Amino acid sequence: MVKIACVIPAYNEAKNIVRVVDSVRPFVDEIIIVDDCSSDETVVCARTTGALVLQHPINRGQGAALETGNTLALARGADIIIHFDGDGQFLAAEIKDMVEPIISGRADIVFGSRFLGKKTNFPAFKRYIIYPLAKIFTRFLLGVKLSDPQNGFRAFSRQAAELIRIENRGMAHASEIQTKAFRNGLRVAEVPITVIYHHFGQRLSGGFKIVRDLLISKIIK
Partner 1 sequence: MLQQIIALIIIFFFILKLMSQKKKQEISGNEFRIWLIFWLVAALAVVFIKQIDYLVARLGFSGSGINFLIYLAVLALFYMVFRVRLELAKTDKHLTDLAREMALRPKK
The yes or no reply on residue 146 touching partner 1 (CB under 8 A) is: no
Q: How far is the CB of 73 from partner 1 (least distance, A)?
A: 11
Q: Give the Cα separation of 152 and 171 in Å (integer).
A: 10
DSSP 130: I
Say if CB 42 and CB 12 are below 8 A apart.
yes
Q: How far is the CB of 220 from partner 1 (least distance, A)?
A: 5
When binding is defined by CB under 8 A, the residue of 25, 56, 118, 187 that contacts partner 1 is: 56
Say if CB 46 and CB 9 are below 8 A apart.
no
When binding is defined by CB under 8 A, the residue of 5, 10, 20, 54 that contacts partner 1 is: 54
Nearest to 111 by CA among 210, 182, 11, 24: 182
Q: Give the Cα separation of 193 and 153 in Å (integer).
A: 8
Q: How far is the CB of 124 from partner 1 (least distance, A)?
A: 36
Hey, CA dihedral for 33, 22, 6, 212, is it positive or negative?
Answer: negative
Can you list the positions of beta strands (E) in 27-185?
Answer: 30-35, 52-55, 80-83, 109-113, 154-157
- Count of residues engaged in binding partner 1, rule: CB under 8 A: 17
Q: Give the Cα separation of 140 and 129 in Å (integer).
A: 17
The yes or no reply on residue 173 touching partner 1 (CB under 8 A) is: no
When binding is defined by CB under 8 A, the residue of 58, 117, 140, 185 that contacts partner 1 is: 58
Q: How far is the CB of 161 from partner 1 (least distance, A)?
A: 15
The yes or no reply on residue 167 touching partner 1 (CB under 8 A) is: yes
Q: How far is the CB of 216 from partner 1 (least distance, A)?
A: 7
Task: Give the footprint of partner 1 on residues 22-41 (CB under 8 A).
Answer: 34
The yes or no reply on residue 169 touching partner 1 (CB under 8 A) is: yes
Amino acid at residue number 121: N
When binding is defined by CB under 8 A, the residue of 24, 45, 51, 67 that contacts partner 1 is: 67
Q: Give the Cα separation of 196 and 92 in Å (integer).
A: 12
Task: Give the footprint of partner 1 on residues 68-87 (CB under 8 A).
Answer: 68, 71-72, 75
Q: Where does this chain bind partner 1 (CB under 8 A)?
A: 34, 54-58, 60, 64, 67-68, 71-72, 75, 167, 169, 216, 220
